[in-house]
């Protein structure tokens, strides 16, 4: 697992080797867990639930990457390296990657196209990340 992360690390690459910081990892895990809990609140607007679940996923995936001793230079890479950080497959990281693209359209072009199914899939994928991180 570490070899794949090493191959992505270095000048001009997506990852930078950096010793894990227990306080940073704990903070990312705490905020990710809190946002995931809030994302499950069906009384919130769908867009809010999407934002909460996406940011929860990002925080938890970043915590997993930091735990392996790396920092990302791009937001999306934390999702793509899930097979190497938490042993999660494409069925999880592809959902998160798709949501990253939708998030960018929403943030930069005002075109957030989230529906109930997408938010449910995002929450499910984020729950899998949270369970793997806890294990």
Q: What angle do CA 90, 61, 123 make, to 5 degrees?
A: 70
Dist. CA 81–CA 27, nearest whole Å? 20
For residue range 2-56, list pLDDT tens digits in order. 788 999 998 989 999 999 999 999 999 999 999 999 999 999 999 999 999 999 9
Name the band, by pLDDT with cuts 50, 70 and 90, for residue 103: confident
Do residues 53 and 126 make contact, with C-beta atoms less than 8 angstroms apart? yes
User: What does the pLDDT read at residue 58?
Assistant: 96
Direct distance between the N- and C-terminal alpha carbons of the chain, in angstroms, rounded to an integer: 17
- Single pTM value for the model: 0.93
Query: What is the total residue count of the chain?
Result: 135
Dist. CA 71–CA 77, nearest whole Å? 10
User: What does the pLDDT read at residue 86?
Assistant: 96
The domain covering 20-134 belongs, at the CATH homologous superfamily level, to: Nucleotidyltransferases  domain 2 (1.20.120.330)
Per domain, the residue ranges of the chain are 20-134
Token code pair at residue 6:
């090493």
In the chain, the percentage of residues whose pLDDT exceeds 90 is: 75
For residue range 61-100, list pLDDT tens digits in order. 999 999 999 999 988 899 999 999 999 999 998 999 989 8
| Crossing angle of helices 46-67 and 22-39, rounded to 10° | 160
For residue range 19-33, list pLDDT tens digits in order. 999 999 999 999 999
Name the band, by pLDDT with cuts 50, 70 and 90, for residue 109: confident
């Amino acid at each position: 697992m570490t070899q794949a992360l090493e191959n992505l690390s270095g000048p001009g690459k997506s990852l930078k080797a950096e010793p894990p910081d227990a306080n940073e990892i704990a903070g990312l895990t705490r905020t990710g867990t809190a946002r995931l809990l809030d994302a499950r609140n069906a009384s919130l607007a769908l867009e809010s639930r999407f934002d909460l679940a996406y940011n929860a996923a990002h925080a938890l995936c970043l915590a997993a990457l930091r735990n392996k001793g790396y920092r990302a230079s791009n937001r999306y890479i934390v999702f793509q390296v899930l097979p190497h950080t938490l042993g999660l497959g494409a069925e999880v990281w592809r959902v998160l990657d798709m949501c990253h693209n939708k998030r960018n359209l929403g943030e930069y072009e005002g075109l957030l196209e989230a529906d109930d199914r997408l938010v449910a899939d995002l929450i499910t994928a984020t729950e899998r990340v949270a369970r793997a991180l806890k294990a």
